[in-house]
Amino acid sequence: MISKSLLPWVKRCLFLLALLPLSRLFWLGFTDQLGANPVEFVEHSTGTWALVILLLTLTVTPLHRVPGWGWLVTLRRMLGLFMCFYASLHVLAYIWLDHWFEWSAIIQDIAKHPYVLVGFLAFICTIPLAVTSTDGMMRRLGKRWKTLHSLVYLIAILAVLHYLWLVKQDISQPLGYTLILAGLLFFRLHRKLKNKI
Amino acid sequence: PALQHIQKTTYGREEKLTSYRDITSYNNFYEFGTSKEQPAENAGRFKTAPWTIAVEGEVLKPRQLGMEELMKLAPLEERIYRMRCVEGWSMVIPWVGIPLASLIKLVQPTANAKFIEFISAADDATMPGVRAPILDWPYREALRLDEARHPLTILALGLYGEMLPGQNGAPVRLVVPWKYGFKGGKSIVRIRFVEKMPQTTWMRAASTEYGFYANVNPTVDHPRWSQASERRIGTGLFTKRIATQMFNGYAEQVGQLYTGMDLRKHF
């Protein structure tokens, strides 16, 4: 159990924690430690953190049902927004650093290559979620808000597919994320079925 | 350790060299791990001396060649070549090596010899990647005999005037500059002359993605990414990609090897 006065501090800590991956990129960039292929490094790092934060967001629901951990749910919105933030940086790195706004090449890349396409679709889906994340939008949308925000499951599936399809041969890393996602989805399905009985 | 008596050549004089640090820290050498950093981290325990290469198959004079003998087959030459990886990045590397043709001449291929297969080391005690079933070990690559005899094709023993470090394929590797980097088998232990086109490791792993020829070709895309442009390693975070050249810029020298072939089909 966390007392109400502590909660704002937990939120501030989480905010700073979630900025660490970005700060690390700046630090490595300024000290010339991004390696031989810095563009690839930035793309991989921002993409990986978007996925990690997305999976953390999905872990909140199972955990907040643990007695005394209900406060976790107040952190979910911030996590979701940070996921969108890192996904945006990932897309920005791709469009700017990798392709220098050469839109014809970018559009061709999206149209011709399935792993780019699913990644792009996942990103597009995060935008309405970020836009409707405010209290006001939650009130206005009412019941539909929850329906809309179940898009997060589609985003997660597209994101791991994006990772699985992009690696050349060794799929052990994306497979790890896929298994974690499968576990999180299984938990929800299991609960849903149990509640019906 | 430095290599002695290296003849300078004019190849690639106009190119800006990729740094030694980048060439030796960003490698695809799955026998030492599948990330780009692992080969440099894990190659330290790999023993490259003594080393012998078995040269066999359709030849009149099969041989077991030690490194000393290999180095005496022809004068060591510095060859500055562009290296284009199938993943869309490239480097400029000052290799030190000998023409593969000098080895071919030594063993005298029979009339049946049409292809040469290169088999890499696969020692699970010192190559941790070999313990994972990522690829069908040992790594195999192959060339058509006329490609292998081409004067641009070399067996590299060093880079930047030094003996090859483990992560770059010590003590001896193949370099075929107009083909994607994966054609250059590393740490070669066996060279076989054969009549039929061999199945290479990457063809076995994904035949729709990696063909036998693997000539650098900006007009034929890899199924999962474009091959029209490449990122030159070492040019920093804010530098554009450069256009990929046909046969990696060696079209004038090697184009005639493929006259009449459909390069979309024979990718």
pLDDT score for A197: 67
By CB neighbour count within 10 A (0-12 exposed, 13-18 middle, 19+ buried), where does B2 fall? Answer: exposed
With 70 as the cut, is the pLDDT of residue B30 above it?
yes
Tell me the CA end-to-end span of chain A in Å, nearest whole number: 31
Do the Cβ atoms of A112 and B37 come within 8 Å? no
Among residues B243, B201, B37, which one has the least CA distance to residue A35?
B37
Tell whether B229 lies on the interface with A, counting CB pairs under 8 A: yes
pLDDT tens, residue by residue, B162-187: 999 999 999 999 999 999 999 999 99
Tokens 């790594």, residue located: B139
**In this model, does residue B197 exceed pLDDT 80?**
yes
Q: What is the pLDDT of residue B112?
A: 98
Distance CA A78, CA B66 (A): 63
Say yes or no to pLDDT of A3 above 80. no
Question: How far apart are alpha carbons B222 and B5 in whole angstroms?
Answer: 41
Of all residues in chain A, the percent with pLDDT exceeding 90 is 83
Is A29's Cβ below 8 Å from some Cβ in B?
yes
B237 → closest Cβ in A97, A99, A113: A97
Optimal mutation site among B225, B227, B230, B242, interface A, most CBs of chain A within 10 A: B225
Res. B66: pLDDT tops 70: yes
In the predicted structure, residue B80 carries a pLDDT above the cut 70 = yes
Share of chain B above pLDDT 70, in %: 100
Tokens of B67: 């490194």
Residue A2 — very low, low, confident or very high, per pLDDT cuts 50/70/90? low
* pLDDT tier, B47 (very low <50, low <70, confident <90, very high otherwise): very high
Residue A94 confidence class, pLDDT cut points 50, 70, 90? very high
Q: Is A58 exposed, middle or buried (0-12, 13-18, 19+ CB in 10 A)?
A: buried
Any CB–CB contact under 8 A between A108 and chain B? yes
Tell me B58's DSSP state: S
CB B151, CB B178: distance < 8 Å: no
Chain B CB within 8 Å of residue A117 CB: no
Chain B residue whose CA is closest to A117: B224
Give the pLDDT confidence score for residue A168 in this predicted structure.
Answer: 87
Q: Does A42 touch chain B (CB under 8 A)?
A: yes
Could you give all domains of chain B from N- to C-terminal order, each with its CATH number? 6-257 (3.90.420.10)
CA–CA dist B11, B253 (Å, integer): 12
Please name the residue ranges forming H helices in B145-261.
145-149, 201-205, 251-254
List chain A residues with CB under 8 Å of B128: none
Question: What pLDDT score was predicted for residue A191?
Answer: 87
Kindly tell me if the per-residue pLDDT of A1 is higher than 70: no
Rounded mean pLDDT, B133-159: 97
> In Å, how far is A116's CA from the nearest CA of chain B?
9
Average pLDDT, stretch B236-249? 96
Q: Is some CB atom of chain A closer than 8 A to the CB atom of B233? A: yes
DSSP letters for B25-71: HS---GGG-SSSSHHHHHGGG---SS-EEEEEESBSS-EEEEHHHHH
Q: How confident is the model at residue A96 (pLDDT cuts 50, 70, 90)?
A: very high
- Read off the pLDDT of each residue in B123-134 and give the average, rounded to a whole number: 94
Grade residue A5 by pLDDT with cuts at 50, 70 and 90: confident
Mean pLDDT of all residues in A48-73: 91
Q: Do B226 and A112 touch (CB under 8 A)?
A: yes
pLDDT(B113) > 80: yes
Q: Say if residue A68's pLDDT is above 90.
A: no
- Predicted local confidence at residue A192, as pLDDT: 86
Residue B93: the pLDDT is 98
Q: Does residue B133 register a pLDDT over 70?
A: yes
Q: What angle do CA B166, B168, B174 make, to 5 degrees?
A: 120
